[in-house]
């Protein structure tokens, strides 16, 4: 039986607090998921949610999916009604998708207390609705809500729900851990017990895991190891509470660890791009530490073993980062030696192997700065500027020189808080004085610098200060405390870079990071 | 055999990109982990890392642990040397901890290519070092680095590493999935195969999982189900690449799912508080979707089933949120509920149980502030001032009122960076204007305030700004970003308190935190 990778980012994943996709967002996410090669995209609940009705309508003309089948999600008919006459069921057919997913109660307690109907009527609702939709030519999936809790509470009844759905013509019955309380060994045991009890092959079952125990990915894999051949998940694990199974980690594990070719050729390496693009659309900062897809998923603090990593990267990576579209990164940290600096430089496209003297100068400079509290592990752009300053051919162009600056913050008698900065700089031979206000001292300084540079460098307009972090470091070597500032700059086209500044004065530290940020961005724009 | 919950937040967890604990941070994290009830706290690598040496030195007098045993981490002796003469091994003993963890290579390829020694010498290094440390009276744990990869590559050699360590007197041998590539079923199989091969009980083994497949928690549970009785993890799963097993999810699953009482009575419910406080110290935004500990871990978009959830919450929660110190949230409101505010107040010695109206007022005020970006999880002093402001009998005395302040930062032509602040305040009916310089804008403001208050409050001299943290929070409700500042003040007698301020302007946010810090300190000194 074909393995089915079934995505529900746009339906169950949209339950995540704070997420709200427009119809255009949903179309864009569907295209990305298709590029990742999922087999099914559950797009929403047509009829019940107006935005979802609209999504399915526009999808018919605007979505040209290469791999995925679009699925409409809804419920079984109301108690006491007839499926063919139920407007909610009608809404699912009106979406004109090849497949429909129906949620059905699989826990008797929920049937009685939430749905407020009888055990028998619940089975009739499932049978009637599935039969009707199949007769209308739809592929039907049934999601057994609260399957695992129900099966523990009353296995006979929950098993009869599964049997009813399959007998009525459902293509797969999906075992949902709706409350997310399962562990992998429990999943295995429940599936084995169920298939023994009702005499079905596990291939007709599916798995839908929530991450409340931190085991959603593992629970999904456990189901597959028990024979299940349909897995549900969401991009980056977005979903209610701790979220759903992350479809990226699930697919990567199935393909790379269990050897199941669940995605079409060439799709797995789209993962990092698709993952980050969906995060942008959902307006959620990508999780840098996400398994497989995170920016830090293959980042190593090289330290003592830099030379071993250089020779034998696979001794230190569980898979090759390239297969999921990721990169290995070497972090330049305290204890940084020549080998890790060379490795890091190579990653940035700067080959120092042939320049041993430059490598020594850079290494000494990094060590000196790190002793003073600088840290380049999260500031690739500052590190690149530093290395390039030592390379005559590649030295970055400094866009200006500073004469002086002044920043003022006032809490006035009327309670208003104002910040104002003045910079005096030389830009291409010209002396410029510029003043600006801001919502804080660093913002004011940033604004004043942009005013001063703006005429010569109009491309500055695209750069935006995206994040700003401050850390106070205890003094070493008997000196006082210093402040370390990290500035993340966005280029307005989805990219960005991070720079660092260190000084006892937070404003001066921020200034260093800001100047590096603008220098790096302008230099990159120039190339 | 006793179950061992072994935390390595301060050692392996500190490998996380961007994390850099000061010695004071490390002491604070250790206290929090002890409150959570872990059995072991791995504090760092004394001798090799100066900050860690200092941590262990100060820990001897400044840490009074109720539950945990402190562990020094290091390596086996150098190849060709003698353990008793090896300065690195000496450094471990000098830390004077009851226990020592030794990392040993368990993968022959790493022995040969990274360590560059022979299979035989590696075993000798383990035997010699363990024997020496045991003879010196230490409990010894051996971490088998790359155990799983090694065992797959050459089971006989890797098994001999385990045997050597145990025969030499190691209390437990820890199976490390250093590259993080394992799945739960593979962990089970490897442990079963190993224990059969060398004829040991799984109780003498430990598990250390990394999260590269998204299965670190599940892999740890799989090891326990296979009989292992020592689990390693880090707070919030912090660690290199996708991180380590989250010790909070691991402990909660062991206790609540597998029924193993691995934490002392009363500790599990400290989870949320400890998790969030450590996140603040690490200066990492807490993951709202973290299993068990996240602010959204038990948050329901109630929708259709609001009444069913209200009547029967356990039908919708896999465990009761209170058992881990969390709250169920139904509406899309911010965090704190009455229950946790009452609990926290009681913890600070303020009983609100008998004052339902005050409790409501405080709860509403906290919700309002939290919606604006405030967070009291790591700022007990600000929280106490807030609660007491609502209690007529206990209201704190405000030492002054502000008229205005002004802060100036200049980078002068000669390169000098200077900060100067002027405050205009009323102290006990008198109008005071005071100006001071500082090494940054906040320091200048702090100094000016101390000058202005000094004559009336000489005890201020003892207070010292010990730490200062800044985080930019993305705006909600269409507003711009705000800045949250945490100020830690030391009382000069080993104690201290933390306060919080939030404002779009970092200087104004700092001002709030500074004023709370002085108010709290003076009030406490008065009592």
Tokens representing B118 are 């022979």
Q: How many CB atoms lie within 10 A of CB A420?
A: 18
Whether B287 is in a domain gets the answer no
For residue A210, what is the DSSP state? B
For residue B263, what is the DSSP state? S
- Say how many CA atoms lie within 13 Å of A368 toward its Cβ: 7
Q: Strand A401-411: give its sheet, edge to edge.
A: A430-438, A417-427, A401-411, B401-411, B417-427, B430-438
d(CA B44, CA B266): 27
Task: Output the furthest CA–CA distance in chain A (Å, rounded).
Answer: 86
Question: Which has more pLDDT, B306 or B52?
Answer: B52
On whether both B77 and B190 belong to a single domain, the answer is: yes
Backbone CA torsion sign across B110, B115, B117, B119: negative
**How far B8 CA lies from chain A's nearest CA (Å)?**
17
* Interface contact B291-A405, CB threshold 8 A: no
Whether A377 is in a domain gets the answer no
Decide if the complex's ipTM is over 0.90: no
Q: Are A456 and A427 in contact (CB under 8 A)?
A: yes
Which among B288, B315, B480 is the nearest to A439, CB-wise?
Answer: B480
Residues on chain B touching A515 (C-beta within 8 angstroms): none
* Interface contact B411-A473, CB threshold 8 A: no
A477 touches chain B (CB under 8 A): no
The last residue of a domain, from among B223, B255, B282: B282
Backbone CA torsion sign across B146, B284, A293, B289: positive
3-state class of A94 per DSSP?
helix
On whether both A219 and A105 belong to a single domain, the answer is: yes
Tokens representing B347 are 């913890």
In what helix (H) or strand (E) does residue A187 lie, and over which residues does it extend?
helix A184-198
Whether B25 is in a domain gets the answer yes
Q: How many CB atoms lie within 10 A of CB A111?
A: 25
A403 touches chain B (CB under 8 A): yes
On whether both A333 and A416 belong to a single domain, the answer is: no
3-state class of A277 per DSSP?
helix
**Closest to B242 in 3D by CA, of A307, A282, A317:** A317
In what helix (H) or strand (E) does residue B483 lie, and over which residues does it extend?
strand B482-490
B426 touches chain A (CB under 8 A): no
* Interface contact B406-A411, CB threshold 8 A: yes
The last residue of a domain, from among B312, B332, B352: B332
Phi, psi of B217 (to 5 degrees): -65, -45
Token pair 């291409």 is found at A428
On whether both A252 and A335 belong to a single domain, the answer is: no
Q: How many CB atoms lie within 10 A of CB A137?
A: 8
On whether both A351 and A470 belong to a single domain, the answer is: no
Q: Are B52 and B91 in contact (CB under 8 A)?
A: no
Q: Which pLDDT score, from 0 to 100, does residue B302 have?
A: 43
Residues on chain A touching B411 (C-beta within 8 angstroms): 402, 404-406, 508, 511
**End-to-end Cα, chain B, rounded Å:** 49
* Residue B499: Cβ-neighbour burial (10 angstroms; 0-12, 13-18, 19+): buried
| pTM tops 0.90, yes or no | no
- Of all residues in chain B, the one with the smallest CA distance to A315 is B110
Tell me which residues of chain A have a pLDDT lower than 70: 18, 302-307, 331-337, 377-378, 474-480, 494, 527
Which among B257, B296, B407 is the nearest to A17, CB-wise?
Answer: B296
B511 touches chain A (CB under 8 A): yes
- The β-bridge relationship of strands A4-7 and A230-233 is parallel
* Interface contact B470-A470, CB threshold 8 A: yes
* Interface contact B215-A253, CB threshold 8 A: yes
d(CA B81, CA B78): 6
On whether both B431 and B468 belong to a single domain, the answer is: yes
Q: Which pLDDT score, from 0 to 100, does residue A307 have?
A: 66
Residues on chain A touching B503 (C-beta within 8 angstroms): 417
Q: Which pLDDT score, from 0 to 100, does residue B360 have?
A: 86
Q: Which pLDDT score, from 0 to 100, does residue B486 have?
A: 86
- The β-bridge relationship of strands B482-490 and B464-473 is antiparallel
Q: What length is written for chain A?
A: 527
**Closest to A503 in 3D by CA, of A478, A467, A471, A477:** A471
Q: Which pLDDT score, from 0 to 100, does residue A484 have?
A: 84
**How far B412 CA lies from chain A's nearest CA (Å)?**
5
**How far B392 CA lies from chain A's nearest CA (Å)?**
27
Whether A395 is in a domain gets the answer no
**How far B209 CA lies from chain A's nearest CA (Å)?**
13
Model pLDDT for residues B85-126, shown as the tens digit of each residue: 999 999 999 999 999 999 999 999 999 998 999 999 999 999
High-pLDDT (> 90) share of chain B, %:
67
Tokens representing A232 are 């549900």
Q: Which pLDDT score, from 0 to 100, does residue B307 have?
A: 56
Query: Does the pLDDT of residue B136 top 70, yes or no?
Result: yes
Close Cβ partners of B479 (under 8 Å, ≥ 6 residues apart): none
- Of all residues in chain A, the one with the smallest CA distance to B210 is A291
Model pLDDT for residues B142-186, shown as the tens digit of each residue: 999 999 999 999 999 999 999 999 999 999 999 999 999 999 999
Q: How far is CA B344 from CA B370, B425, B484, in A?
A: 16, 33, 21
* Interface contact A183-B480, CB threshold 8 A: no
Residues on chain A touching B467 (C-beta within 8 angstroms): 472
Residues on chain A touching B181 (C-beta within 8 angstroms): 257, 318-319
On whether both A357 and A242 belong to a single domain, the answer is: no
On whether both A354 and A467 belong to a single domain, the answer is: no
* Interface contact B439-A411, CB threshold 8 A: no
**End-to-end Cα, chain A, rounded Å:** 52
d(CA A330, CA B370): 38
Pick the range with the lowest mean pLDDT from A317-331, A368-382, B1-15, B465-479: B465-479
Whether A412 is in a domain gets the answer yes
**How far A302 CA lies from chain B's nearest CA (Å)?**
10
Q: Which pLDDT score, from 0 to 100, does residue A430 have?
A: 94
- Of all residues in chain B, the one with the smallest CA distance to A476 is B51
B368 touches chain A (CB under 8 A): no
In whole angstroms, what separates CA A270 from the centre of its chain? 13
Close Cβ partners of B476 (under 8 Å, ≥ 6 residues apart): B371, B373
High-pLDDT (> 90) share of chain A, %:
67
For residue B299, what is the DSSP state? B
d(CA A520, CA A517): 5
On whether both B325 and B183 belong to a single domain, the answer is: no
Beta strands in B52-119 (DSSP E): 69-75, 99-105
Which among B20, B214, B439 is the nearest to A504, CB-wise?
Answer: B439
Residues on chain B touching A114 (C-beta within 8 angstroms): 305, 308, 312, 315
Mean pLDDT rounded to a whole number for chain B? 90
In what helix (H) or strand (E) does residue B430 lie, and over which residues does it extend?
strand B430-438
Q: Which pLDDT score, from 0 to 100, does residue B295 have?
A: 84
DSSP letters along A382-414, please? HHHHHHHHT-TTTPPPP--EEEEEEEEEEE-TT
Any idea what the Cα angle at residue A366 is, between residues A362 and A372, rounded to 5°? 150
Residues on chain A touching B504 (C-beta within 8 angstroms): 439-440
Query: Does the pLDDT of residue B476 top 50, yes or no?
Result: no
Q: Are B9 and B251 in contact (CB under 8 A)?
A: no
Whether A290 is in a domain gets the answer no
For residue B432, what is the DSSP state? E
Backbone CA torsion sign across B266, B271, B273, B278: positive
| Range B242-273 burial, b when 16+ CB lie within 10 A, else e | bbbbbbbbbbbbbbbbeeeebbeeebbebbbb
Model pLDDT for residues B217-231, shown as the tens digit of each residue: 999 999 999 999 999
**How far B354 CA lies from chain A's nearest CA (Å)?**
33
- Of all residues in chain B, the one with the smallest CA distance to A283 is B474
* Interface contact A417-B507, CB threshold 8 A: yes
On whether both A184 and A265 belong to a single domain, the answer is: yes
On whether both B308 and B190 belong to a single domain, the answer is: no
Model pLDDT for residues B341-376, shown as the tens digit of each residue: 777 777 778 888 788 888 888 888 887 787 777 878
- Say how many CA atoms lie within 13 Å of B305 toward its Cβ: 17
On whether both B304 and B413 belong to a single domain, the answer is: no
**Closest to B43 in 3D by CA, of B76, B88, B8:** B8
Q: Which pLDDT score, from 0 to 100, does residue B305 have?
A: 56
* Interface contact B243-A219, CB threshold 8 A: no
Tokens representing A243 are 């979220």
Close Cβ partners of B261 (under 8 Å, ≥ 6 residues apart): B255
B209 beta partners: B177
**Closest to A16 in 3D by CA, of A262, A241, A217, A194:** A241
For residue B39, what is the DSSP state? S
Which among A180, A377, A408 is the nearest to B318, CB-wise?
Answer: A180
Token pair 């935390």 is found at B7
d(CA A97, CA A102): 13
Whether A259 is in a domain gets the answer yes
Model pLDDT for residues A52-77, shown as the tens digit of each residue: 999 999 999 999 999 999 999 999 99
A185 touches chain B (CB under 8 A): yes
Rg (CA), chain B: 26
* Interface contact B109-A319, CB threshold 8 A: no
d(CA B142, CA B105): 10
Q: How many CB atoms lie within 10 A of CB A269?
A: 14
Residue B331: pLDDT band (50, 70, 90) is: very low
Whether A383 is in a domain gets the answer no
**How far A420 CA lies from chain B's nearest CA (Å)?**
10
* Interface contact A215-B225, CB threshold 8 A: no
The last residue of a domain, from among A250, A282, A314: A282
DSSP letters along A482-497, please? EEEEEEEEE-SSS-EE
Q: Are A287 and A242 in contact (CB under 8 A)?
A: no
- Assign residue B48 the CATH number of its domain: 3.20.20.70
Q: Are A527 and A507 in contact (CB under 8 A)?
A: no
Q: Which pLDDT score, from 0 to 100, does residue B340 have?
A: 66
Q: Are B106 and B136 in contact (CB under 8 A)?
A: no
- Assign residue A514 the CATH number of its domain: 3.30.160.270
- The β-bridge relationship of strands B464-473 and A464-473 is antiparallel
d(CA B510, CA B508): 5
d(CA A248, CA B283): 28
**How far A62 CA lies from chain B's nearest CA (Å)?**
31
* Interface contact B180-A311, CB threshold 8 A: no
Q: Are B133 and B167 in contact (CB under 8 A)?
A: no
Contact pairs from chain A to chain B, CB under 8 Å: 285
Q: State the residue range of the domain holding A348.
A: 299-371
B316 touches chain A (CB under 8 A): yes
Q: Which of residues 333-362 of B touch A (CB under 8 A)?
A: none
Q: Which pLDDT score, from 0 to 100, does residue A332 have?
A: 59
3-state class of B144 per DSSP?
strand
**How far B21 CA lies from chain A's nearest CA (Å)?**
9
In what helix (H) or strand (E) does residue A471 lie, and over which residues does it extend?
strand A464-473
Beta strands in B227-346 (DSSP E): 230-233
A180 touches chain B (CB under 8 A): yes
Residues on chain A touching B483 (C-beta within 8 angstroms): 440
Number of domains present in the structure of chain B: 3
* Interface contact B184-A473, CB threshold 8 A: no
Model pLDDT for residues A297-340, shown as the tens digit of each residue: 998 875 556 667 777 888 889 999 999 988 887 765 544 567 77
d(CA B125, CA B461): 54
């Amino acid at each position: 039986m074909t393995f089915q990778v079934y995505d529900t980012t746009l339906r169950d994943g949209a339950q995540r607090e704070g997420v709200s996709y427009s119809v255009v967002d949903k179309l864009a996410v569907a295209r990305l998921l298709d590029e990742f090669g999922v087999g099914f995209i559950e797009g929403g609940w047509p009829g019940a949610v107006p935005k979802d009705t609209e999504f399915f309508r526009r999808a018919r003309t605007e979505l040209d999916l290469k791999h995925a089948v679009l699925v409409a999600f809804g419920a079984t008919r109301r108690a006491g009604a007839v499926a063919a006459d139920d407007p909610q069921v009608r809404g699912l057919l009106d979406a004109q998708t090849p497949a429909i997913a129906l949620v059905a109660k699989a826990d008797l307690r929920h049937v009685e207390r939430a749905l407020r109907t009888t055990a028998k009527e619940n089975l009739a609702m499932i049978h009637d609705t599935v039969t009707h939709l199949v007769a209308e030519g739809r592929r039907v999936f049934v999601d057994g809500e609260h399957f695992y809790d129900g099966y523990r509470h009353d296995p006979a009844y929950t098993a009869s729900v599964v049997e009813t759905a399959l007998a009525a013509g459902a293509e797969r019955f999906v075992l949902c851990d709706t409350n997310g309380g399962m562990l992998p060994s429990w999943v295995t045991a429940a599936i084995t017990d169920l298939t023994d009890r009702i005499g079905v092959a596990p291939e007709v079952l599916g798995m839908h895991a929530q991450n409340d125990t931190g085991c959603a990915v593992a629970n999904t894999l456990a189901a597959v190891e028990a024979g299940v051949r349909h897995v549900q998940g969401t991009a980056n694990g977005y979903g209610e509470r701790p979220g759903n199974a992350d479809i990226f980690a699930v697919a990567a594990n199935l393909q790379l660890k269990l050897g199941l070719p669940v995605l079409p050729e060439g799709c797995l390496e789209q993962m990092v791009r698709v993952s980050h693009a969906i995060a942008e659309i959902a307006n959620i900062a990508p999780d840098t530490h996400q398994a497989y897809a995170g920016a830090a998923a293959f980042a190593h603090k090289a330290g003592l073993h830099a030379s071993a990593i250089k020779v034998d990267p696979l001794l230190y990576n569980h898979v090759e980062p390239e297969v999921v579209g990721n990169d290995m990164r070497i972090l330049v940290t305290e204890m940084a030696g020549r080998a890790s600096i060379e490795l890091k430089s190579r990653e940035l496209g700067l080959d120092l192997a042939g320049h041993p003297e430059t490598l020594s100068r850079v290494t000494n400079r990094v060590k000196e700065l790190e002793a003073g509290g600088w840290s380049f592990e999260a500031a690739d752009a500052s590190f690149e500027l530093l290395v390039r300053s030592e390379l005559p051919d590649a030295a970055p162009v400094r866009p200006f020189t500073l004469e002086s600056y002044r920043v003022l913050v006032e809490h006035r008698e009327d309670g208003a808080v104002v910040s104002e900065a003045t910079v005096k700089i030389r830009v291409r031979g010209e002396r410029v004085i510029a003043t600006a206000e801001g919502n804080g001292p660093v913002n004011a300084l940033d604004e004043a610098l942009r005013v001063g540079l703006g005429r010569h460098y109009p491309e500055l307009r695209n750069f935006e200060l995206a994040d700003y972090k401050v850390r106070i470091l205890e003094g070493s070597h008997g000196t006082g405390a210093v402040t370390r500032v990290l500035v993340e700059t966005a280029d307005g086209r989805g990219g960005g870079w991070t720079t660092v500044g260190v000084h006892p004065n937070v404003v001066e530290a921020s200034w260093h990071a800001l100047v590096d940020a603008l220098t790096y961005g302008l230099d990159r724009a120039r190339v």
